[in-house]
């Protein structure tokens, strides 16, 4: 079973930045793409971004393009989501997830518990 642990959430003012982290089991980290998915209060799931197993490819949802950046830290088995120019509508719980065969477009069979981000003045 893959272990995923998100951290870095909190309350931040509009326009500010925040970095989320997702620590992944060492056995999985180097062979799997990692996704971020978010869910606003009382809302549905929204895919945010993905980074390939080797970091060579990254893709973003429309709401993240130009403001968020996903990266991998192989020394810490961690994926980061750097969020800038935060808006009220970015308020959500952010989950990281791994696909069932490691590829970027496969279904997500492992999820973390999520970390809350609240954008508020």
Partner 1 sequence: DIQMTQSPSSLSASVGDRVTITCRASQSIMTYLSWYQQRPGTAPKLLIYAASSLESGVPSRFSGSGSGTDFTLTISSLQPEDFGTYYCQQNYGSPLTFGGGTKVETK
Chain residues in the site for partner 1 (CB under 8 A): 35, 37, 44-47, 50, 59-62, 95, 97, 100, 104-109, 111-114
Tell me whether residue 13 or residue 44 sits nearer to partner 1 (CB atom). 44
In sequence order, what are the residues at sequence separation of 6 or more whose Cβ sits closer than 8 angstroms to the Cβ of residue 108? Answer: 35, 37, 97, 98, 99, 100
Residue 73 near residue 105 (C-beta atoms within 8 A): no
Cβ 26 to partner 1 shortest distance, Å: 21
Tell me whether residue 21 or residue 47 sits nearer to partner 1 (CB atom). 47
Cβ 121 to partner 1 shortest distance, Å: 27
Tell me whether residue 89 or residue 109 sits nearer to partner 1 (CB atom). 109
> How many other β-carbons are positioned within 10 Å of the β-carbon of residue 79?
28
Q: What is the spatial distance between Cα 14 and Cα 2, in angstroms, rounded to a whole number?
A: 34
In sequence order, what are the residues at sequence separation of 6 or more whose Cβ sits closer than 8 angstroms to the Cβ of residue 44? Answer: none
Cβ 13 to partner 1 shortest distance, Å: 27
Tell me whether residue 63 or residue 77 sits nearer to partner 1 (CB atom). 63
Indicate the helix (H) or strand (E) that contains 58. strand 58-60
Cβ 78 to partner 1 shortest distance, Å: 19
């Amino acid at each position: 079973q893959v272990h995923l642990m998100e951290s870095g959430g909190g309350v931040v003012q509009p326009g500010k930045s925040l970095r989320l982290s997702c620590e992944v089991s060492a056995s999985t980290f180097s062979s799997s793409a990692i996704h971020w998915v978010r869910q606003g209060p009382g809302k549905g799931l929204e895919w945010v971004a993905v980074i390939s197993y080797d970091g060579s490819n990254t893709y973003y949802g429309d709401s993240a393009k130009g403001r968020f950046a996903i990266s991998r830290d192989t020394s810490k088995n961690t994926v980061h989501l750097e969020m800038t120019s935060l808006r009220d509508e970015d308020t959500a719980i952010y989950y990281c997830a791994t696909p069932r065969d490691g590829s970027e477009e496969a279904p997500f069979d492992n999820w973390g518990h999520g970390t809350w981000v609240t954008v508020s003045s």
